[in-house]
A and B are shown apart, each in its own frame.
Chain A
């Protein structure tokens, strides 16, 4: 999708200078030799290949392993900006957990008429199996990745609340490691808040959510669908960094009312399972009966309070794109505060007026599937051909409730290091939030995704996006 409008660039001002957070970096950069940087850029790629930081692209022959391109110009966020962002994210995540507890218990928010009952009752992401289940500490979303975009100096919007199994945190960590290796001098000149505590914090946060009657040190494990999953690298990376086992469904079974993993010395009980398997595949007895990825009976163990599943099953009801449009109301309902971070204006195609507007303006809108992710199954109006729009319109008319639409935002840009020097590209930001009964922990920064094609607004790695190291400056 291309747009001719003037974008807000986070580094370069229209005049000659740079924005304040980039001042120190610019000093360093202007003394750099472009040939050296090009060489560094190649080194980074070789480093990623060697360490195997790859992802698999679905629908491609022979399970191709690809690299997510890494751009060596950091995205820099001022301390003041981050303080505001993190407050807004914390508020949002607090509201999401309160919402989930409510929706699976008394459903006050439905009684108050704030959200239509149908939106919950007819939603595939709502799991009746979760009704009346209270996870330890009432934490539903142990890990959240809140997607944020920026359009101006003070204009931040939440694009999506990823409350199921957000991915990308390994890139956040490896991007920083790469920068530290390539440009150690930068980090002695500029004080950047560290991100490397994430794995340690994740393990502590998960352990703090262990079942209440778990005696001793809780055993944590990461559940992966296996080496063919697109995020397998991240699953093994996180297990390794936390020092916990990486298990697959066939390593697990129910033993005496607990979930246990098959070790060389017999079965060993797991207390907290950080699962990177979707709800649908978690338990063939309770959900999709064809699933080979899950553990038969795990939901029964879960409901008996003998294992913590992170994130809890059924959290998808909170990051559903149709629910998204109600987030400002949800935040206000549970926290009594106005939302700190703005929502993007959203038309719910389930509503006739909205649908009429969307059909009228398809060429200017972004239309997304309510349950879609990864940039699949969406229409980016301004970038689509007439034929693509017509095809999409037919789909939309058949099942309007399955779609929402949003205006095309004028996303901010950050320069990338291109062949001829700096070139502006659109970015978004995914900060990672850990939730436990002891509170929340947000790693400063997060994953910056960047659309590498000039003018493109699609940052998804599956659609040719890259990543950048993200710096939050010390005060």
Chain B
């Protein structure tokens, strides 16, 4: 397989994951601003920060409102994390690696590009927002479904999984990073409305407000939420889950190619670290430091993979 193709598959799935994550952030922000917040502007600001596009946003707008943020995150082609920009890049990468995709996967991503371009042609009115967010989610599911149902489990598939896992881990880590102070035990006032709203935002941003309750018997404490997001390997967006998936995909590659690469040492180190951690230990050592380190390590693994598998010459 060409190194360029591996890179194309990896980025295609990073961008697909990103478009879905951005849509999810908008959804959470919209919901919270609508129902719970006394200060919608600061909610929207934190949505933009979580998406990692604060400075780009501030260059265009001077205040935070639902209409601006939604437009910036869904439709602005110059915002690299906007749904439209991400889906465009995913599709460009798909064209680049078309020979490595099944017809079903290619058609699913091409159709989602066509449909979302059409749906996001004009600014999205508040009344249409739920429908459009639903459409984004549905298309993302179609691509994923086609991938799981039709792709050979070869190196092609591994690189799609690697891209997805890295992007998703990065996204969850950034959500924690932006809201980490609301998860600190010292900031915890059980039952206080403020914390409940913040926690709900976090859980909605990872589409886990219901699954958390199922798993934790509705025991909403900051420690439980942090543990769920970081260490619970049953939750498919937790750092631990993503890290394990990444390890699996990388070990498939090592097996298929008959060779371990430097990236394997990096992922092993990350896995070891997560395996032996408890949430108490994370709080003792500092949640913020932990998250900062995780984001840095996650990026380093991505870069090592690009190099080890020769994405670029």
- Which residues on A are within 8 Å of B, measured CB to CB? 49-52, 227, 232, 236, 239-240, 245-248, 250-251, 253, 261-266
**Mask: chain B, 35-56; 1 = CB below 8 Å from A; 0 = not:** 0000000000000000000000
Complex Cα gap A253–B96 (Å):
20
Given the known inter-chain contacts A250-B313, A264-B3, A264-B309, please indicate yes or no for A51 contacting B107, CB distance below 8 A. yes
Complex Cα gap A435–B111 (Å):
38
**Cβ contacts A to B, 26 pairs, < 8 Å:** A49-B114, A50-B110, A50-B114, A51-B106, A52-B95, A52-B110, A236-B95, A236-B98, A239-B99, A245-B1, A245-B5, A245-B99, A247-B4, A251-B3, A251-B4, A251-B313, A262-B4, A263-B1, A263-B3, A263-B310, A264-B2, A264-B3, A264-B155, A264-B257, A264-B309, A266-B310
Within 8 A of A (CB), among B98-157: 98-99, 103, 106-107, 110-111, 114, 155
**Most chain B beta carbons < 10 A, residue from A49, A247, A264:** A264
Cβ-defined contact, A262 with B313, below 8 A:
yes
Min CB distance B51 to A, Å, is 25
Find the B residue at minimum CB distance from A227: B95
- Which residues on B are within 8 Å of A, measured CB to CB? 1-6, 92, 95-96, 98-99, 103, 106-107, 110-111, 114, 155, 253, 257, 259, 309-310, 313
Cβ-defined contact, A232 with B310, below 8 A:
no
Complex Cα gap A262–B5 (Å):
10
**Most chain A beta carbons < 10 A, residue from B92, B106, B253:** B106
Cβ-defined contact, B95 with A240, below 8 A:
no
Residue from the list A240, A248, A264 in contact with B1, Cβ < 8 A: A264
Find the B residue at minimum CB distance from A267: B310
Do most interface residues of chain A lie in helix, strand or loop, or is the interface mixed? mixed
Complex Cα gap A261–B2 (Å):
7
Residue from the list A49, A232, A239, A262 in contact with B3, Cβ < 8 A: A262
Cβ-defined contact, B110 with A262, below 8 A:
no
The 5 closest A-B pairs by CB, nearest first: A240-B99, A264-B309, A236-B98, A262-B3, A239-B99
Cβ-defined contact, B111 with A264, below 8 A:
no
Q: Provide the residues of chain A in CB contact with B110, threshold 8 Å.
A: 50-52
Complex Cα gap A332–B210 (Å):
82
Q: Provide the residues of chain A in CB contact with B99, threshold 8 Å.
A: 236, 239-240, 245-246
Residue from the list B1, B95, B107 in contact with A232, Cβ < 8 A: B95
Q: Provide the residues of chain B in CB contact with A251, threshold 8 Å.
A: 2-4, 313
Complex Cα gap A227–B103 (Å):
18
Find the B residue at minimum CB distance from A242: B99
Q: Provide the residues of chain A in CB contact with B107, threshold 8 Å.
A: 50-52
Complex Cα gap A246–B309 (Å):
17
Cβ-defined contact, A262 with B310, below 8 A:
yes
Min CB distance B236 to A, Å, is 27
Cβ-defined contact, A240 with B310, below 8 A:
no
Complex Cα gap A264–B254 (Å):
11
Q: Provide the residues of chain B in CB contact with A240, threshold 8 Å.
A: 98-99
Min CB distance B107 to A, Å, is 5
Q: Provide the residues of chain A in CB contact with B4, threshold 8 Å.
A: 247-248, 250-251, 262
Complex Cα gap A232–B92 (Å):
12
Q: Provide the residues of chain B in CB contact with A253, threshold 8 Å.
A: 313
With A264-B155, A265-B257 given, can you name 20 additional A-B contacts, CB distance below 8 Å? Answer: A49-B114, A50-B110, A50-B111, A51-B107, A51-B110, A52-B106, A52-B107, A227-B96, A232-B95, A236-B98, A245-B1, A245-B99, A247-B4, A262-B2, A262-B3, A263-B2, A264-B1, A264-B2, A264-B310, A266-B310
